[in-house]
Each structure stands twice: as C-alpha cells, then as structure tokens.
Chain A
Amino acid sequence: MSVSTYPRYHSHLLFLYTSSAMCSPSTARQLISHATVILLGCGATTSAVKCLLSIGRLNEAIKICSTKKNKSDGVEAKDFFLAAVSNAKQSSSDTNCQSFYLLYYFLQSYDPSIFELESRKVRVSRRGSKNRRTNSFMATAEDLDTIMIEQSVFAHECGPFPNELFGGKESHCAKKLRQMFGYGVSVTQRASVM
C-alpha cells in the first residue's frame, strides 16, 4: 500500500459526507485501533507503524516500536521525526518540546546509530543571512559553496531543524533539541542542506 498517496473520495461521496452522515472522530479512532490490532495480529508491524505515522498517530507508533527489540524494517527514524513535525504544526511550543523530548529518547533506543556524528559535504550559501535566498532551488551555482560539516546522521537526512515550532531558533528549547538531535550549529543557522 502506498500510504502517502491515499485515494480521495469521489465528489458524490463527498456530498454524502458533507451532507450528514460521516462517523464521529471517536468512531474513527476505534476504527484505527481495530485496523492496528489486525495488522499487529498478522505480524505486519511495519505496515501498522507506517499507517499510524501517516495519520499522525505518533505515540501509538512509538508504543508499538518500543515493545520490539529490533528496529522495524522499512520504518526509519526520519519517518517518526516527520510525523512529529507534522503533528507539532497544530500544537503549542510547550507541547512540542515535550513530544520531541520523548521522540528523542525513543529514537535513541530505536536506532542509536543515527545519532553518531558524521562529516558530510554540505552545500551552503556563500551570502550572508540578509541576501540569502530562501528557496535553495533558486540559488545559482555561484551562490552555493560546498563545505564539510560534522553532525549526526539523523540531522544529515532530516534536513533543517524546524525551529519555528519551538518559539524560534534562538529559543532555549530549540537550541537544546538541535543539540540533542545532533544538528551542527553553524549549518542550521545559515545553510540549507541540499
């Protein structure tokens, strides 16, 4: 199943949904719980975790993976992080801090290797923050430079840290989390990772 490309309802169905019927969120929760039980019962843990993450049920996905000794094949730390970022957009910064702390401690046990530091070549903008183009795709070859940066594997793969979810890049919480997740300070401040 391609989780990221869920089919959308036909317009006729949408009519019905919007007109009256549709089940309540609590029913939807029960439906998801039912589906999860089936998947876990069938041994399709990866599929269950992927499905849960795709709909933002991070805690349930973490709970499932926590009971397993080994990392689930096909579910990367990045998937958890992206789900957490997606959820955090609808929550306050305090709540987000809490959930990212939890995520960090989970990922440490889930896949400790992702926090190992690694030096990779990163293409960064030469210009200062004033003239820095916000969109990296708009940067010309002259604007970019390649430098060697040491940060965690996780940070290399996940891209820039979402400082805005924690009250800005200068906030204590953001700084702390960046450090925990192994983000290099200089890069996160001014570079866009390609």
Chain B
Amino acid sequence: MIRIATVEKGEDLRKKLPPRRRRQTFAAGERSSSLLSEGDDNDVHFNIDLSYDAFPVTSKPEKLPNFREGSQRSIFGPKLEEGIKPGTTSIIGGGVLWSARSSENGDDNAELDLIVVTTTSVIVYNMNMTKKKLIKAHVLPHPLAASFWFEASAKTLVIGSYKSNLRQTSTVEEGSGLDVSITIDRNFSIDDNEEHNRQGDSSIKSVSFPTAVMSMKTIFFSKNSSVVQTLPTFVAGTLREISTDDEDDRHTLQLSLESFGSSKTDNKPNKEKESNTVVLPTEIFLVRLYDDVYCIELGSLGTDKGGIGLTKLDKEANCIHVRHQKLDALKGNINEDSISVGVMNNLLCIFSKNEETTYYIDVAASFCDDTRVMRDMISLYEPTSNTSGNPHIHDDNLSFLAPHYFLDTNGQGLLFEVSLSLPQLLKGIPTTAMCIPFLLRRSNSKATIRSLIMERFSQLIGLNDMSTLRTWLTVIIDEYAECEIATKFDVEGEAHMEEMMKMAGKSSQNVSLLTKCSLLQLDNISNAEEIVFGSMLVPPEACSHVLTQAEVIQMILLPHVKSAIQMGDSKKLKFMSSFAVSYFVELERRFLAPCTALQCLVIALLWLTGQNNELCAFLSAQQTQWTITRRRRQLELPTSNRMHFDDPGAVSFAETLFQIATDCHDKGEIPVS
C-alpha cells in the first residue's frame, strides 16, 4: 500500500464519510474505487494499493529495471489488468503525479487527476470530490519505459523507452553518396567550413550510430478537461555518432529491448561504451520555453561533437520540430554533477560547473531559419574567483534546482533564485550580431530592453556600419510586417496623438512625434531617457516583440539626429539621413505604409543635408505613385498602394511640410510667384 497524498482540511471530509467505509483499500486495476480516510490526525490520507508485492522495486534513471517476460515477480498480482503486465509493470520512481484542472463548469482546480507512470503504461485516475470516487479514466500503454519527464505547468508527460536502432547502425560511408541526414536536418549547426571539408574529403570515413535509442512518447493533459492528447512518438539519441575509437567495439553494444537486463550488462567495458554512446535519461530534460514544451537532449551529436538536441513538442500542430546545435561544452562524457539544465527568462541555460560557464540558448532563434538573426548560443564565463564572499552559481556547495534555483547545502540551506542580467549577457554578443529580436523576446522591463536596443544601434551607428544596419532593418521590418497590431498602431496612433495634442494644447513637454520629426524645434526632440521612460507613444503589449515605426523613430533615429545637430556633425547627419531613407524604402518594399512622422523625418533630413536631387526624386516618386493609385482606383483595378489621404495624419504632415519650406522662404530664398 502506498500512501500517495495528503489532503488538508480533511476533518470535515472524514466526518462526512460513513464509518464502515474507512480503512478500505482498493487495487489499482479496479475501474472505480472509493476514497478512504485514515489516520488519527486531522488530515485525510487517500491510499491506493497498487501492489501486492512485499518487495517494492526501486530503480534509478541510469540503471534500468531488470524485468523480463516470464519473470517470477508479481507486482500487480495474478489479476490481469489493462496496461499492466504481470512481472514487468512497476511504478517508475517519482511516477505518482497529481494534476489539478478546472471542472466542466469552469471552476478552477476543481478536478484532480492522479497520474501513475508505470514501466508499461500511464494510468490516469480522476478523483471525483463530489461522489468521493476515484475513477480510472485512461490507460495509455507504452513500451517498457526507462524513465519519464513531467512538465507540470504545461501538464506534459514524456515517457522514454529504449528501442533497438539496429537498422540504422549499419556503417555509412561518407562520400559514398548516401545521405545520413534523410530524416533529420543535422546540418543545421555544422559550420560551413566543416561541411565543405567534409564534402571535399574523398577519403572514406565510417560513421556509426548507437544500437539503442530512446523512443519518446508524449502525452498532453488538458487543463480543463479529462481528455488527453498524444503526439507521434519521436526518437532521441539517433545522431550520437560513435567515435573512431569506439567503432571497433560497436558491435558489442547490444543495448536493445532484448538485452535489457541481460547478462551482457555485466560486461564492464561494454557498459562503459554504452554509457558513452547511448542516450541516458539523465541527458534528457523537459522544459517549457515561450509557452511551448521542449525536450532537450544533451550530447545529441555524440561524444566527439557534443551538441544539444532541441525537440519542440507542438501540441497545436500535433507534430515535433527538431534542431541539433553544436555545443563544445558537451563534448565527451557528460558529467551530470557538473552540467545542469535550467530555464531563465525563456532562455535555456546550461550551467557547467567545471568550466565555470553558463551557456544560454534561445530556442526561438534556434528554430528560426533566418540566417540574418543571431542563432549562436551565448556563453558567459563567470569564474568563482571573482566573487567577493557572495555565493556563486558555480560553487561546489550550491546545488541546482530546476528551473532556476540554487540550494546552498551548507549551513541552513539557503535557497537562491537566480535571474538573468541582460547587460552582462550582451557583453558576450558581438556588436554586429543581430540580437534585437532576442532582446525583444526577453521579459525584462520595457525600459531596460529599449535602452539596450538603443545601445546596440548606437554602437553600429558609431561605427558607421550601414551595411549591418540595413540588415538589421530588414529583420526588424520583417517581424513588424507580421504583426498586424503594430502596423495598425503606427497608422492610427498618429491620428490619436494629433487629436490628443489638439485637446491638450501644444507645449514644450507635449509635442507630437510629427512635430519632433520636422526637426523645427530641436528642444522638443526628447533625449534618450525621456524617450525610454516617458514616451507618449507606448505601443500595446501585444506587439512588444517587434519594434514599431514610432519606436524606431523615437529610440534610434531622433536621438542620433539630435546629437548630430547639436555637435554640428553634418557627416553623421547625412549618415542618419541614409539610414532613415533605407528604413523608409524597406517598409515600402514590403507594402507597408510608412507613418507620416517617418515621411516627415526623411524629408526634413534630406532638406537639412541639402540633398536636392534626392528630395525632389522622393517627392516626385510619391506623387507618381499617387497618380497611378488614383487611376487604378478609378478603373476599379486592385492596388495595394495607399493614397496620401488614407493616412490619418496627412493634414498635419502637409502643414508641417509648409513649416519646413517656410524657413527658406523667411530668408527670401524662395521667389514669390
């Protein structure tokens, strides 16, 4: 009998239960069983008798339970039950899980499910608090399981079962034309140079893979119903190349379903090889990142290459997405005492005590096919010698607790919660690396993220690196184009702003973005701090992962234009003019309407820098576009172009253009008609 839970405030419940029903027990296999109360204290203990065996079986993730067909062990007794194999089934260590969910009426956490993870099946019981019944709801059989992983917040359970990989272990000769990456894109993280060398190498090199891999079965439990969803089974440990030294002995790796617990496990050298090449449960983690569940496999490319395997369990699409990334830190044998895997700020963190380094992986970037975006892992070396008496995450006496806690095992056992320092992390990212989407995905305060973005842009502007800036712009605009809320905000935001301005009245502290962009009153162009902390144009939360036009103008363009003007730096002003024009052009290229503030800024900058031809061409092009659009509309032909009167702030924009042109007129430079 296993005591599996304690329910507080059970006194009332115990009183309600009839005395004759106390101290009854029920077997796991029964379809419906009563709840019981036991104990002399005020708590009620619900006990479920899952085993008649007097000798409970214990197992460790790295040591598989040694049950075979025909074993004399009788765990569930002679009674055959669904999902239970006599002599084979046992509860995997820690395999008793509680899962609360909302009821059909919508009451939060009103229903309680008991999930029992056994070596052969997952049995789900539903606890009906009203009827005081425990009903077996689901039995989900699976091959003999080695381990399981449960992500509580996403209610996702993954069962790992070893299976034979003999069909794939046959030696593949590289250069023979056979593609060893038919099913999984394993070239993703391999350097181009390395790949080139591989292709150019005419010598035949044998590559072999382990004989056993881990079959992973995924079960999603619903948060508001008893329905469970399963994913197609995927396999972990398939790309673990056996090194050349291992190759001679590869035939001795006989870790398959048939050999689990067989006499071959007694062969120590083979056992060592097995641990080197076959994926172990301790090398697999289940984490939740960006509201998706990921299965992480450390050392997924073998001992020579290290690597990390990322498998996204896509519940909506009912499929998985796999990426493998090289990670030198995971080369060789992974020492589980040295390596810990956690999650901070939606970043996968690999803490390496031996190297005193933490590796950060952004899975959103890893799964992104855009080569312009930074996809490399970020490593942060933090030597323990630098600490001044304060506890350090790589201290030996600190134990990691997922997802981001450290327990000081000395003294009274203090628990530390670690958080991510973005400025420190950015030090490990090259200046030219496109990390803006990475920054925008972080959950830090908006002000922090904005100031860091400004800093990154400022570094590039300081270097006059227009080429990289243009690349950054294309990335920013591509993401912006996909966010309808952001585009709508830019179009409608200005109109609202104008209305607000009219209502509030114009003052030095209350100037519209359009007025700022006219560059007529330099004092009204807010400085960087004001833009970040006191901005009037705050985009909605739903588009916090993109940079709106208003933000690009306020955070990047205007501050640098202002500083160029203040310093009398016409070269920088011209650079900013080119930058603004590039931004404008990239927006139009994607059929996005540049906001009137940006149009105004482009015109003001071209005007200020005396680029007559460019400004005239700019104006002519716009008018030509309007003419074409007008004509197409007259003929009722489809057109995605916009007319000037489609922009809500067009009138204010035109009036501002008059103001810009008037300055010249005031000096008598425009001949009066």
Contact = CB atoms under 8 A, between A and B. Distances in A.
Given A31-B619, A32-B658, A38 B570 contact: no
Given A23-B615, A31-B615, A12 B566 contact: yes
A146 B626 CA distance: 58
A-B pairs with lowest CB-CB distance, top 3: A21-B610, A10-B522, A35-B657
Contact of A41 (B565, B644, B673): B644
Contact of B658 (A12, A42, A55, A91): A55
A72 to B, nearest CB: 15
B486 to A, nearest CB: 25
Given A21-B608, A90-B672, A16 B573 contact: yes
Interface stretch (A56-64, A73-81, A111-119, A175-183): A56-64
A132 B579 CA distance: 63
B661 A32 contact: yes
Contacts, number: 152
A22 interface: yes
A21 B605 CA distance: 10
B603 interface: yes
Interface of A: 1, 3, 6-10, 12-13, 15-17, 19-32, 34-39, 41-44, 47-48, 51, 54-60, 87, 90-91
A12 B522 contact: yes
Contacts of A59: 673
B652 A1 contact: yes
A12 B611 CA distance: 19
Contacts of A1: 652, 655, 659
Contacts of A35: 654-655, 657-658, 661
Contacts of A58: 672-673
Interface in B125-148: none
Given A21-B570, A34-B622, A43-B645, A27 B672 contact: no
A44 B669 contact: no
Interface string B641-673: 001110000111111011111111110111111
B657 to A, nearest CB: 4
Given A12-B568, A57-B672, A28 B650 contact: no
A21 B564 CA distance: 14
Contacts of B655: 1, 35, 39, 47, 51
Interface in B622-636: 622-623, 626
Nearest to A86: B672
Given A43-B645, A57-B672, A24 B651 contact: no
A17 B654 contact: no
B521 interface: yes
Contacts of A38: 644-645, 650-651, 653-654, 657
B519 A13 contact: yes
Contacts of A55: 658, 661-662, 665, 670
Contacts of B570: 16, 19-21
Given A31-B619, A31-B661, A42 B650 contact: yes
5 contacts: A8-B663, A16-B573, A26-B616, A34-B654, A56-B665
B316 to A, nearest CB: 44
Contacts of B234: none
B98 interface: no
A41 B610 contact: no
A15 B608 CA distance: 11
B669 A25 contact: yes
Given A7-B521, A21-B608, 14 more contacts: A6-B520, A6-B666, A9-B663, A10-B522, A10-B565, A20-B610, A21-B570, A21-B610, A22-B664, A29-B670, A34-B657, A42-B645, A42-B651, A57-B672
Contacts of A13: 519, 522, 565, 608
Determine the main DSSP class of A at the interface with B.
helix
A41 B201 CA distance: 67
A82 to B, nearest CB: 14
B88 to A, nearest CB: 79
A86 to B, nearest CB: 9
A42 B626 CA distance: 13
B610 A23 contact: yes
A32 B657 contact: yes
A27 B612 contact: yes
Given A12-B566, A25-B664, A41-B644, A30 B672 contact: no
Nearest to B574: A21
Nearest to B664: A28
Contacts of B672: 56-58, 87, 90-91
A98 to B, nearest CB: 13
B609 interface: yes
Contacts of A15: 568
Interface string B432-458: 000000000000000000000000000
A23 B613 CA distance: 9
B420 to A, nearest CB: 40
B523 interface: yes
Nearest to A56: B672
A46 to B, nearest CB: 10
Contacts of B652: 1
Question: Considering residues A32, A34, A42, which has the most beta carbons from chain B within 10 angstroms of its beta carbon?
Answer: A34
A41 B608 CA distance: 27
B135 to A, nearest CB: 68
A22 B610 contact: yes
Question: Considering residues A3, A19, A38, A91, which has the most beta carbons from chain B within 10 angstroms of its beta carbon?
Answer: A38
A175 B520 CA distance: 44
Nearest to A10: B522
B644 to A, nearest CB: 5
B500 to A, nearest CB: 16
Given A12-B522, A22-B664, A34-B619, A28 B568 contact: no
